[in-house]
Amino acid sequence: MDLFIDSADVNAIETRAASGLIDGVTTNPSLIAKSGQPFHDTVVKICNIVGGPVSAEVIATEHDAMLAQGRELAALHEHIVVKLPMTIAGLATCKALTKDGIKTNVTLCFSAVQGLLAAKAGATYVSPFIGRVDDIGLAGMELIHDMRQVFDNYAFDTKILAASIRHTEHVLQAAMAGADAATIPVAVFDKLLNHPLTDQGLEAFLADWKSAGLT
């Protein structure tokens, strides 16, 4: 399973990428706005740090403008994946960019049938938003299970990128449901590694080593 960081914070991404465990990054307009940094510079910096797919989202809502923005974003760096909203214009743009050999990520996916449409449009990735579905009282993870089955039934190449991840259990459940990748906020990524018993265990090992006078 590929692990992506869901952030536009260049420093935070750089620190986590040093682990060698980060396969890619997703950004969105809200994350870029939060970073307070220029859009294009930021995504290029991120591309150079991670050396893997970096999703950068179009802002246009009409097909022609989306296509122009998508091509402009793709020209910034070979690792750019053009992120498009789950709309008719977004799907038509996905199809056109795919034909050009440009990688795409159809975002704001809240149902498995939307996922089916993204796959039909030739999307490289589709992003089901697990946490936001949970937020409205439904079972977000069902999206992953259902999309996995649909994609496998028809051998679609589109990768399921579990998004809107809120906690480590989401990462585990997405992995068990067969998501190809998960995009994870920095705070959740850090928690994947941490366990109090690991800290206690390491402390005890080192203390025993020291008290035995070993070097």
Point out the residues that are catalytic.
83
* Interface pick for ligand E4P out of 120, 132, 145, 191 (rule CB under 6 A): 132
Of the candidate spans 89-97, 128-136, 191-199, 206-214, the one that interacts with ligand E4P by CB under 6 A turns out to be: 128-136
Cβ-based nearer residue to ligand E4P, 55 or 69: 55
Query: Is residue 175 exposed (0-12), middle (13-18) or buried (19+ Cβ within 10 Å)?
Result: middle
Shortest Cβ 135–ligand E4P spacing (Å): 8
Cβ-based nearer residue to ligand E4P, 169 or 203: 169
Of the candidate spans 60-68, 116-124, 126-134, 152-160, the one that interacts with ligand E4P by CB under 6 A turns out to be: 126-134
Task: Please enumerate in sequence order all residues whose Cβ is within 8 A of that of 137, keeping only pairs 6 or more positions apart, or say none.
Answer: none
Give CA–CA dist 68/130, Å, rounded: 30
* Interface pick for ligand E4P out of 42, 69, 104, 107 (rule CB under 6 A): 107
When asked if residue 129 is in the footprint of ligand E4P (CB under 6 A), the reply is yes
**Which residue(s) pair with 5 in the sheet?**
25, 184
Cβ-based nearer residue to ligand E4P, 34 or 195: 34
- The 144-183 contact track toward ligand E4P, x by CB under 6 A, reads -------------------xx------------------x
Cβ-based nearer residue to ligand E4P, 31 or 44: 31
Shortest Cβ 78–ligand E4P spacing (Å): 20
Record the tokens describing residue 8, joined without a space: 């536009």
Signed CA dihedral, 81, 59, 28, 160: sign only? negative
Cβ-based nearer residue to ligand E4P, 69 or 107: 107
Q: Collect contacts of 36-45 with beta carbons under 8 A, ≥24 apart.
A: 37/8, 37/10, 40/73, 40/76, 42/8, 42/10, 43/8, 43/73, 43/76, 43/77, 43/80, 44/76, 44/77, 45/10
Shortest Cβ 182–ligand E4P spacing (Å): 9
DSSP of 146-184: HHHHHHHHHT---EEEEBS--SHHHHHHHHHTT-SEEEE
When asked if residue 104 is in the footprint of ligand E4P (CB under 6 A), the reply is no
- Residue 11, amino acid: N
Site residues, ligand E4P (CB under 6 A): 6, 26, 28, 107, 127, 129, 131-132, 163-164, 183
